[in-house]
């Protein structure tokens, strides 16, 4: 299904697809991402879920609980099917308040306008809709190496990691409630035999501790519902009640006091 034909914005998508498919760290991330996303998407129900970004090998269609799962591409996709949508992440081809869940798979790492992408997410999601962000961690070992590579000539790539704290601030300004990010895969598999098994256990231990040294993090956010209180009174002109004090009772019947400064009339003599 094609809704629009945008410009080629995410050129590194093909490179990320090959990286996840061919690198040992990428294959480890696919396994850990699948496990974590199955927990995050377990309680997401509704009609529509949209996934943006490259195809990294995670079976989103099997993990989601919504009725339909769409994959958004910003270029001419090689795969075809009813769940393929062509569009740009900074101009999503969906109506306002129409999606139950939205997954940004490294979309913020490849776009030059991350704020516009997040504003589009806030627009198309339903109230209490789910936003799941998959991003490279800028403070990880991968992030440091990527920063060094960007200083080298002819390596001016557009793939950048995001800081989880800064991303939380952006989402808070847009009215999202965020959970703590989950960090995955601190380092790639190294060695074989005992050394390899030991490194795998160390990595699993760091994932269980949610160590911020993870290469990739997942952030789960929900669009909050704003409630505005109307300060206008329900009755603008309501008569004000004034309490009238009572005088001493005469023969058991309370007698109201005279109001104002007028002189009381003399009592008539009793017969």
CB 64 within 8 A of CB 45: no
Residue 171: predicted pLDDT: 94
Mean pLDDT of 24-48: 91
Q: What is the pLDDT of residues 62-83, one digit of tens each?
A: 887 888 999 998 765 555 667 8
**Mean of all residue pLDDT scores within the chain:** 79
Average pLDDT over residues 29-51: 91
Higher pLDDT, 12 or 6: 12
| Residues 99-112: tens digit of each pLDDT | 999 999 999 988 88
Please report which confidence band the pLDDT of residue 188 belongs to, taking 50, 70 and 90 as the band edges: confident
What is the pTM (predicted TM-score) of this model? 0.75
Q: For the chain, which domains are there?
A: 13-223 (3.40.50.150)
User: What is the arithmetic mean of pLDDT over 148-155?
Assistant: 64
At residue 61, the pLDDT reads 86
């Amino acid at each position: 299904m094609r809704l629009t034909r945008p410009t080629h914005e995410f050129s590194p998508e093909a490179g990320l697809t090959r990286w996840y498919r061919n690198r040992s760290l990428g294959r480890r991330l696919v396994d850990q991402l699948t496990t974590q996303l199955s927990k995050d998407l377990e309680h997401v129900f509704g009609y529509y879920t949209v996934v943006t970004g490259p195809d990294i090998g995670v079976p989103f269609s099997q993990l989601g609980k919504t009725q339909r799962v769409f994959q958004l591409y910003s270029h001419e996709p090689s795969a075809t099917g009813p769940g393929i949508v062509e569009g740009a992440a900074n101009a999503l081809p969906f109506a306002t308040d129409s999606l139950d869940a939205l997954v940004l798979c490294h979309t913020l790492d490849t776009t030059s306008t991350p704020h516009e992408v997040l504003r589009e997410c806030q627009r198309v999601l339903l109230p209490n809709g789910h936003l799941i962000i998959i991003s490279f961690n800028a403070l990880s070992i991968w992030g440091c190496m990527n920063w060094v590579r960007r200083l080298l000539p002819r390596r001016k790539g557009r793939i950048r990691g995001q800081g989880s704290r800064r991303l939380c601030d952006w989402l808070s300004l847009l009215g999202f409630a965020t959970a703590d990010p989950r960090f995955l895969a601190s380092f790639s598999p190294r060695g074989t035999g005992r050394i390899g098994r030991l490194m795998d256990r160390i990595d699993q231990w760091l994932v269980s501790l949610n160590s911020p040294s993870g290469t990739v993090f997942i952030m789960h956010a929900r669009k909050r519902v704003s409630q505005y209180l109307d300060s206008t009174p329900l009755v603008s002109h309501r008569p004000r009640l004034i309490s009238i004090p009572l005088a001493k009772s005469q023969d058991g019947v309370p007698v109201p006091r005279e109001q104002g400064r007028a002189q009381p009339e003399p009592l008539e003599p009793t017969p």
